Structure 1
Amino acid sequence: MFIVGIIKFGERTWVLRSASSEHFRESMLPHPDPGPNYARYMEEYSSKKAEGFKVELGPPIEAPKAENNSNDARGILDDSIQNAVILNKAYSFFEIFKRLCADLILSFHNIEKSQTFFQNRNSEQAFKVIEIELGFMYDVFYTRAVLVHSRLGGILRCISLSLTVSVFLAFLFKEKHAYTGEDVAITYVLLVGAIILELYAVVMLLSSDWTTLQLNKHKNGVLKLFHTAVSSIPLVKNNRWSNKLGQYNLITFCLKNRPAKCIFVEKDLFINKLLEKYRYQDSEDVSEELKNLIFTQLKEKSKSASNFDACKQLCARRGAQVLRDAKCLVRLGWTILGVEFEQSILLWHIATDLCYNFDVKRNSNVVPNQNCKNSKQLSNYMLYLLVMCPFMLPNGIGQIRFQDTCAEAEDFFTERKSITDEEKACTMLLKVSTDISPSEVKGDRSKSVLFDACRLAKALQSMEVEGHWGTNEKKWELVSQVWVEMLSYAANRCRWSDHAQQLRRGGELLTHVWLLMAHLGLTEQFQISEGHKRAKLVVQ
């Protein structure tokens, strides 16, 4: 058992060292490449020129590019084969794109290959690849998977299990008259517990994506059958991502309609404020329609990412381009241009809520279209990030704006006793006249954007009524596209270390969007390279 303990702590120490940022970065640095021998080339050039020859530089000889098998998942009907292809593709991309986690840059050819692959996929396949890829990243940073799935790891696992079982058998047949019954019982419990943990580790090992990857390569029928049987056990299913989307609604939070979960906590204590914040946090499943909306819009952007400058401009967009394309930038641009990002989030969140209530909740017979649902979901998700995960958004005064806006909303609801639910709250807010800008009346001491958001909601509604859009479907299409641009902007501005922290908590949609953008070429972490070229000397 002492040897087993040494193995366990040795594994943990080795994994911690490998996952450290310094060692992880060093492990991905390429071998030093001095390039073609410039001194020898120039010696040959000088000697030929001295002999009287006319020497010129010929066209460069470029190394052949690797073949792109982007169609390897097309036309395959067998789900098991298609899943195997997706898994293999996800691992090959993981080996390349894990450089992003060490703040290294990718080559233009890496981006081009990935771009081609994802341009030929649908949203379900694309997000599946990203999900598996992030699962590999989680295993590298937070588990012992890299060691356990190696040849050395397999040997150590066999030694550990066999030694634990042999100790149990030795104790089972040993004379135990010299020991008390309590000591014997405790020893049995500890040994049986150790064996169960070892067997559970083996089962988890066999059901992981790493094992599936190895089985796809070696085609071992017996192991594959055993792996399929183990993977079908509900307790050991590999749920790579929670597929949950955090939700937070400002008006619901300000109405304070949800009862406190702990009646023993006084209202004036700090812990009550903390519990209250978590009390209004919800979650929903990420729908396939929402994934399709995000992927379609990002894929369309990707077609314009032809060079580094274009990528930089695409990554900097946070809604203005959508308004420009819809020819309403003059009227609505004040909500995005020249204001901080968290201010735009609050403005569009409240406006989305007001429009949703006006179009859907007041008309119970109206079924909300898909863009309406997606807009509502993304709106609540972006506010969830602002309130619960502000470190994932660009630096700003989001917390101050949120609390000032909530304070103004609570005062407004308190003065009007008839407001008891969200529907009445939205109706009363839309009735407030906003002909004069709130900043002209209140100044800029308070950072509240409550009635500025009412102005935005009224502008959206009036554009629909005035005939700028034929139906509210056009309006919700615009709103959903603005939210996707804000989501992609936030994803690209979030540091990798913050994305990694969220992997430990089940993962965030923002992280998936960040990696998907990188695969589609919407990232600034790459260099434009002409490839491995060598100049040819032409002697005449």
Structure 2
Amino acid sequence: MFVQLVSDDVQKLWSEQGLQGSILVSIVLQIMLLLLGNRRKYNPRTLVATSILWCVYNSAYAVIPTALTITAQTTSDVSTRELMSFWASLLFLHLGGPDNFTAYSMEDNELWLRHSVLMASQALFTLYILLLSFPSCSHLPLLSILVYAAGLIKCFGRVQTLRLASTEHHRASMLGLADPGPDYAKLMEENHLKLSQGFIVNIDEFAKHEHSPSAINADQESRSKEIVEAHHLFKKFRPLFVDHILTYEDRDISTSYFSDLDSSKAFRAVEIELGFAYDKLYTKANVVCTNKGLIVRGASVVLILVVLASFYFLSDIGDYRAVEVFITYLALSAEISKEIYALITMVCSDWTDLWLNQRDQTRDILFFQCLKQPTKQRWSNTIPQLDVLSVALNEKPTRVLRIQKLFGVDEYLEKQSYETFTEVSVNLKDMIHSQFKEFMGFMAKNPNEKPLCVHRGSYSLRENECINLLWSTDGVDFDQSILIWHIATTLCFDLAVDDERGSNRVESNHMSRYMLNLLVSNPEMLPKGIGMMRYRDTCADAKRFFNRKGPFTNNAEAYKILSEVKCREVLPSVVTGDRSKTVLFDGCRLALVLMEMKVELMWKVISQVWIEMLGYAAANCGGFHHSQQLGRGGQLLTHVWLLMAHLGLTEHFQVSKGHARAKLIVS
């Protein structure tokens, strides 16, 4: 004897209320995606923000197949079945997603084929549901077909956007036509033929240089001038995002342009470029911001407007319950509101400035003042901070540690609890820009010198006659060098006297904590190493020391006792050996040497070494990982990477001239 676990009444309630609830949830999630799509561009990825965004993105596309399944199982009267098919077409429209949020991460772009299969299957399933409403006695099934057509347009646009943003397509688009070069075999055959005929043959080589592209300069002085010039730069330097090479002509044009910019304008140009990159990778800009895309996109909007008007004037609303009519109007109104919001967002974007500039127009032709001078946030302009000694001092005791360890999230949550954010100041940008330009001048005088991207602090140490400190940069792995200089900077920051300017001290501390945060939270952006192992061992060593010497009233007291350890007489590695990777007392040893310098020189050396390390890390991080960070509020490291490329301080420039040409000289 079989027992029915779910009664017929519960099943009927689920079919009706479950479908209505799913549609409402889908509407809410789509609106949240639309609003979060812009904010993710300039909001730093905290634990809460990441969790919310991940849940909303995955839930928004998980609820649609569930709701469509419920719709297909509804076997009520004809009018209800027609309404269900109409709702199914609206749900399918949601599958196309908002224009400003097509991918959660770069991996979504790489899986564009999987997304296309999913959408194709849902399109066929929705079509099947629509066919169930025929034959009909009302206009609603015809309206369902119109909504379905709009959904096909949006879904195709989303799949096309994912495909165009994939690394494979991006790399293929950079290659162009295959270039076999001059025909060597043919030249050798002619050479052999002439020699066999008794002629004296010489081969004269000459270089055929390709036409140099024009300088980067907008045609007119306007508010959009810097946007037009940044877009021109973006088109030339797009190959960097797939780790392709550039020509020396590109370098010369870029360096000529950036040599006339101060730090503020230089970083702003880079910021605009990365804004274009974000739009290409994470939004539908590849599809919508084209003439064909605008026409097709406009057609889908017209279809929705026609459906709304037709439903109001042609449908017999009395055949449906009030809640069903409310949900239908809500879904249609939400779609139109989303389109209006998307239009306003697009008008406020840099793409509109480009479009107007191509037609010799400015934003002054727009009616509303908010559209004439829109506020544009292109990235978070913040850097995450982490201090290993603060973690070791256990400033923020962990709660419910046993539960966290049970789920294996204790270390992750500990890092998140100590992570803070600070704004990237104008002083820091000035320091980075000025040091890069100083190295450009050095490279101009010494063309055979290695570029900045291969130095990890050694150039600054040699320039400041600190050869005795090279062991902390060249003699160790990069992750080890970060930890050593981080500990030394922290001790100097709290114990040493401030310099007269003050900016070197503050910004050095910010860079120190930022680089350590990258080592712990984004190790994929740094050269391969065992940074996490070194961090854990160093943290454990510091905790043991502080527990043995504590308690302390404040951090400065703990740091003072740590700096009093006699670590210059015997190297720490002699005691710790090779098994433990702690560098705690290597950092103390470095701090003691630094604090013997004059205060101004000490902070000058520390700041320059950190800028050099920042440049080394930026240049040695792949374009894919830089692209990933654009969808997470951005990273200063990515801005430094692109700025270095524009200043010619990376190794991406490898094509110096066109094909070498050879001709036979017969005598």
Question: Same fold by TM (over 0.5)?
Answer: yes
Gap runs ≥5 in structure 2: 1-146
In 2, distance between residues paired with 1:3 and 1:524?
Answer: 49
Task: State the distance in 2 between where 1:443 and 1:45 align.
Answer: 66
TM-score by length of 1: 0.87
Match of residue 89, structure 1, among 203, 220, 229:
229
Are 2:412 and 1:274 equivalent residues in the alignment? yes
Q: After superposition, what is the alpha-carbon deviation per residue over 1:464-488, rounded to whole angstroms, capped at 9, x for unaligned? A: 2xxxxxx311110111000011111
Report the counterpart of residue 326 of structure 1 in structure 2.
Answer: 464
Structure number, greater radius of gyration = 2
Residues 108-147 of structure 1 correspond to what in structure 2 (within 5 A)? 108-147=248-287
Matched letter for residue 522 of structure 1: L
The amino acid across from 1:527 in the alignment is Q
Match of 1:409 in 2: 542
Name the structure 1 match of 2:100: none
Superposition deviation, residue 156 in structure 1: 1.5
Residue-by-residue CA offset, 1:144-166 (whole Å, 9 max, x unaligned): 10210101111122111111111
Which among 489, 500, 503 is matched to residue 352 of structure 1? 489
Whether the 8 Å CA contact 1:99–1:105 is kept in 2: the answer is yes
Match of 1:9 in 2: 155
1:114-513 paired onto structure 2 within 5 Å: 114-174=254-314, 175-220=316-361, 224-226=365-367, 229-230=370-371, 232=373, 237-258=375-396, 266=403, 268-269=405-406, 270-305=408-443, 310=448, 312-329=450-467, 331-360=468-497, 369-434=502-567, 435-462=569-596, 464=597, 471-513=598-640
Q: Deviations over 1:10-31 (max 9, x none)?
A: 1011111212222211112223
Aligned-partner Cα distance in 2 for 1:264–1:95: 50
Flag the structure with more relative contact order, 1 or 2, with Cα contacts below 8 A and sequence separation at least 6.
1
Alpha-carbon offset, residue 300 of structure 1: 2.2
Structure 1 residues 23-32 or 505-514, which shifts more? 23-32
Distance in 1 (CA, whole Å) between partners of 2:571 and 2:389 is 21
Q: Find out whether 1:520 has 2:647 as its counterpart.
A: yes
CA–CA separation in structure 2 for the residues paired with 1:531 and 1:46? 26
Does the Cα contact within 8 Å between 1:55 and 1:538 map onto a contact in 2?
Answer: yes
Q: How big is the shift at 1:176?
A: 1.1
- Name the amino acid aligned to 1:151: N
The 3-state SS of whatever aligns with 1:91 is helix
Count matched residues: 518
Q: Does the 8 Å CA contact 1:247/1:380 hold for their aligned counterparts?
A: yes
Q: Structure 2 vs 1, CA of residues 535 and 89 (structure 1 numbering), >3 Å: closer, same or farther?
A: farther
Q: 8 Å contact 2:231–2:273 — kept in the other structure?
A: yes
**Counterparts in 2 of 1:35 and 1:251: CA distance versus 1, 3 Å:** closer
In 1, are the aligned partners of 2:451 and 2:649 still within 8 Å (CA)? no
Give the Cα separation in 2 of the matches to 1:309 and 1:396.
Answer: 31
The 1-side partners of 2:424 and 2:578 are apart by 38
Q: Do the aligned partners of residues 222 and 173 (structure 1) sit closer, same or farther apart at CA in structure 2, a change above 3 Å counting?
A: farther
Cα distance, 1:525–1:228 mapped onto 2, change above 3 Å: farther
Report the Cα distance in structure 1 between the residues aligned to 2:595 and 2:573, rounded to whole angstroms: 22
Cα 1:493–1:59 change in 2 (3 A) is closer
Q: TM-score, normalised by structure 2?
A: 0.72
* Structure 2 SS opposite 1:507: coil
Judge conservation of contact 1:215–1:223 (CA < 8 Å) in 2. no
Q: Distance in 2 between matches of 1:112 and 1:221?
A: 30
SS at match of 2:637: helix
Question: Which one is further off, 80-89 or 530-539?
Answer: 530-539
CA RMSD of aligned residues (A): 3.0
Report the CA distance shift for 1:224/1:30 in structure 2 as closer, same or farther (over 3 A): farther
Comparing 34-43 with 522-531, which one deviates more in the overlay? 34-43
Which range is displaced more, 108-117 or 384-393?
108-117
| Corresponding residue to 1:529 among 646, 653, 656 | 656
Query: Is residue 486–residue 516 contact of structure 2 (8 Å, CA) maintained in 1?
Result: yes
Contact 1:253–1:280, Cα closer than 8 Å, also in 2 = yes
Farther-moved stretch of structure 1 (424-433 vs 44-53): 44-53
Q: SS of the counterpart of 2:319?
A: coil
CA gap of 1:64–1:266, structure 2 versus 1, over 3 A, is: closer
Any conservation in 1 of the 2:363–2:372 contact (CA below 8 Å)?
A: no
Distance 1:5 1:432, change over 3 A: same
Structure 2 counterparts to residues 29-48 of structure 1, below 5 A: 29-35=175-181
CA contact (8 A) 1:255 1:420 kept: no
SS at match of 2:384: strand
Q: Percent identity?
A: 42
In the TM superposition, residue 61 of structure 1 has moved relative to its aligned partner by 6.9
SS in 1 for 2:267: helix
Shift of 1:334: 1.7
SS at match of 1:283: strand
